[in-house]
Amino acid sequence: MSGGQGQHDDPLDRLAAEEDWSRRAKAVENQVARERRMPSLRPARTPRPRRDREPRGGISLIFVALVVVMLVSAVAAWTGVGHPSLVVFFFVLSGWLVTLCLHEFSHALTAHRGGDHTVAEKGYLRLDPRKYGHPVLTLLLPMLWLLIGGLPLPGGAVMIESHRLRNRFRDALVSAAGPAVNVAASIVLLAAVALGGPAFLNWDAPHLTFWAGLTFLAYLQVATAILNLLPVPGLDGYGMIEPYLSPGVRHAGNKIKPFGILIVFALLYLPLARGLFGDATVFFLDVSGVPRELAAYGNYLFQFWKSW
């Protein structure tokens, strides 16, 4: 047995085994080192998806420019710098466009708070007039009617996804938010003229050009509020009651909506409808104590080309 044990414990065999083990261990270490130097073939880690954020944007530079034009022309009208007609023209037109942007912004902001967050992606919260509806039907046509006829057709439109709103009341509130801007502007402007302006059309009154332009701008705000509150499909007055109408009536109204502004345009072309609308607008001027002749003089200055 001793012979067998000596053969089993031969030092040479143990040394050979140790050398073979060391060689294999060294080979494994070299292989690991080579794999570390090679680029990893594992798929890249998928980044964690970020939450969708609404575009912040900011206030449109066009709106800022309109406000600057309105303020500069108002100062010019007050100080008597420049031709009265041109000054009033730029003052009234820029003021009307500013309230138009605020009108549509109010729609969008109310919808945003009511649950429709897509208005931010559409750019409605930037006060950019280019975003508010069709450039011809909802902006150019009302502006031309304002310049030619002296009446402000409802202009601008924002596409609200009503199904995202929380309830019918929110839907109706979105439609009411726009005319509320014109009503508020009417109250502020009429109060300013009634408290600080002349009690009648006095050619010797100080700052007459400014007060005439401001009175005509107030007249346009009253007219815009009345027009928008008409219950015609496509206008805000109809939108305020639409959520509470039956499905059949709403379906019929949806077919008329694209032509709502054209219907108003046609009605105002008729002498009877135009006269009734003018009487309703002047009524609010009389109630506030603002002389209607001052608004007429402002309209005369605004439409300066008619005197050429």
Catalytic residue numbers read 104
- Is there a contact between 259 and 248 (Cβ–Cβ < 8 Å)? no
CA nearest neighbour of 217 among 193, 181, 195, 235: 193
| CA atoms of 227 and 224, how far apart (whole Å) | 5
What are the structure tokens assigned to 276, written together?
């009734």
DSSP, residue by residue, 81-150 = -S-HHHHHHHHHHHHHHHHHHHHHHHHHHHHHHHT-THHHHTTGGGT-GGGSS-TIIIIIHHHHHHHHHS
| CA atoms of 11 and 27, how far apart (whole Å) | 24
